[in-house]
Amino acid sequence: MAFELPPLPYEYGTLEPHVDSMTMQIHHTKHHQAYVNNLNAALDKFPELKDLGLVDINKAVGTDKLPTEAATVIRNNGGGHYNHTFFWKVMTNPSNTNGPSGAAKEAIEAAFGSVDEMKTKFNAAAAGRFGSGWAWLGVKSDGSLAITSTPNQDNPLMSGLPDAAAMVPILGLDVWEHAYYLKYQNRRPEYIAAWWNVVNWEQVSANYEAAKAGTVPL
């Protein structure tokens, strides 16, 4: 069973003007597709790993569950496939977004004091990630929320990595330059600020419930 590029839950232009249509199209059909293709190629020699599923493949990064000769390719492309699959779903039509609610909102307030404080910390993590990477809001093993950033296509599921801040992600933001350069060029903070307009808080709440129940949202 090969991995496949999932369709977007919306049109390429739906997130305009905050994330532009051309970026969404290239990001989905070129960048994400390449991660899928490369992951499938890497796993051709190790079919038992394909059966693990994408989440468990990511959890296996940095452990001896992955064969040494494929470890890096799987880290980069298994990470890339999970991260982007997750990412498309935590975004939505800007007219749909209402802000956090329910248990997720309470958890945010408990961990950060307020939603605004959480955003301030998240923005700092996203702007401060040097080079390529991602910023994450996630549920730690003690059930509380935390923010971290990871380099390249790493993510907080990869608890086997040294310096890993192990969490189950409930919200993530791609800060690789390909995610924003066509519209924002070097102005990453402007991209980050605009992105809050398209966050799918219903999905974030669903992700939070899944994480609390001990499963990993995908």
How many residues contact another protein, by CB under 8 A?
Answer: 19
- The structure tokens listed for 4 are 């496949």
181 binds another protein (CB under 8 A): yes
Q: How far is CA 21 from CA 15, 137, 151, in A?
A: 7, 25, 25
Q: What is the dihedral of CA 29, 31, 32, 33, to 10 degrees?
A: 60
Please tell me whether 28 is known to bind a ligand: no
User: Nearest approach, Cβ of 22 to another protein (angstroms)?
Assistant: 9
Tokens 């003690």 sit at which residue?
Answer: 142
Please tell me whether 174 is known to bind a ligand: yes
First to last CA, the chain: 18
The edge-to-edge listing of strands for the beta sheet with 145-151 is 145-151, 133-139, 168-174
178 binds another protein (CB under 8 A): yes
CB closer to another protein, 181 vs 196: 181
User: Nearest approach, Cβ of 31 to another protein (angstroms)?
Assistant: 6
CB closer to another protein, 88 vs 201: 88
Q: Give me the 9-28 binding string for another protein, x by CB under 8 A, dash otherwise.
A: -----------------x--
Residues making up the binding site for Mn(2+): 27, 84, 174, 178
